[in-house]
Amino acid sequence: MLNIHNIVYSYDKKNTVLNNVSFNLNKGELLTIAGPNGSGKTTLIKLIVDLLKIQEGSISINKTSHDNPSVKKEIIYLSSEDFLPDFLTGKEYIEMICDFYDTPLDKEKLSRLVEYYSLDSKLDQLIEGYSHGMRKKIQLVSAFMINNKIIIIDETLNGIDVEAKEATKLLFEQYKRRGGSIIMCTHDLELVEEIGYRVLLINNGVIYIDDLIENILKTGSNLTNVFKELIDYEGMKNEIEKYF
């Protein structure tokens, strides 16, 4: 479905943020992208959704370039930022997203989703009064209202309550059963192990691991230990103990 081929990207000539990154996202798959801050995760996501222009390599969806207008509408992107239009109510925001993606507003579906996310009493309130968690929830409701091929989520599950996370996990499963694919960027390694299927671990712009979660866990390790190895946790620990 989604093909990333030999992506190279730098913000200046000295610092390469992504270096020959290649992978595929299959139909009905949940791929988690993880890595330290500055590893290139968000840059990669911005390239996929065409917020940054490719310098080297290619990105395609079903063999069509990702910057094709019709292909862009196959992706809904939930940014790590929560800058939503404060002058709209929650319902107006959802209506705007449905309209942009040419999707009729399914009132029954909306009613169920806002109940799952405990937003039913907040839907007619202005977004300017929403908390960080509520803004994330309204983004998720909007995404599940649209029958797109790909949802890309950048840290959106951070800051939402346990009930909302559980609802999201169940909705992910239904979305995948219908053939939808999900890319999720997160620092929550426990969440990755719980709901992830495949993990792509990036460090210094290079793919360090691309494997199924179950294969990593079978080795007797876990993602936290892999992550510690990635950032040289022992070296950092020894240095802190020595100097502090």
Report which of residues 233 and 148 the model is more confident about. 148
The string of pLDDT tens digits covering residues 97-132 is 999 999 999 999 999 999 999 999 999 999 999 999
pTM of the model: 0.87
pLDDT tens, residue by residue, 42-89: 899 999 999 999 999 999 998 999 988 888 889 999 988 878 999 999
Give residue 231's pLDDT band: very low, low, confident or very high (50, 70, 90): low
Enter the DSSP assignment of 129: G
CATH of domain 2-242: 3.40.50.300
In this structure, how many other beta carbons lie within 10 angstroms of the beta carbon of residue 32? 24
Q: Domain residue spans in the chain?
A: 2-242
Q: What is the pLDDT of residue 83?
A: 82
Average pLDDT across the chain, whole number: 88
Q: What percent of the chain has pLDDT over 70?
A: 94
Contact (Cβ atoms closer than 8 angstroms) between residue 39 and residue 203: yes
Question: In the chain, where do the E strands start and end?
Answer: 2-10, 16-25, 30-34, 56-61, 64-65, 75-78, 150-154, 181-185, 198-203, 206-212
pLDDT of 164 above 70: yes
What local confidence, expressed as pLDDT, does residue 40 receive?
87
| pLDDT over 90 at 92, yes or no | yes
Q: Is the pLDDT of residue 234 over 70?
A: no
Question: Residue 23 above 80 pLDDT?
Answer: yes
CA 102, CA 99: separation in Å to the nearest integer?
5
On the 0-12 / 13-18 / 19+ scale of CB atoms within 10 A, 241 is exposed
Q: Could you say which DSSP state residue 147 is in?
A: -
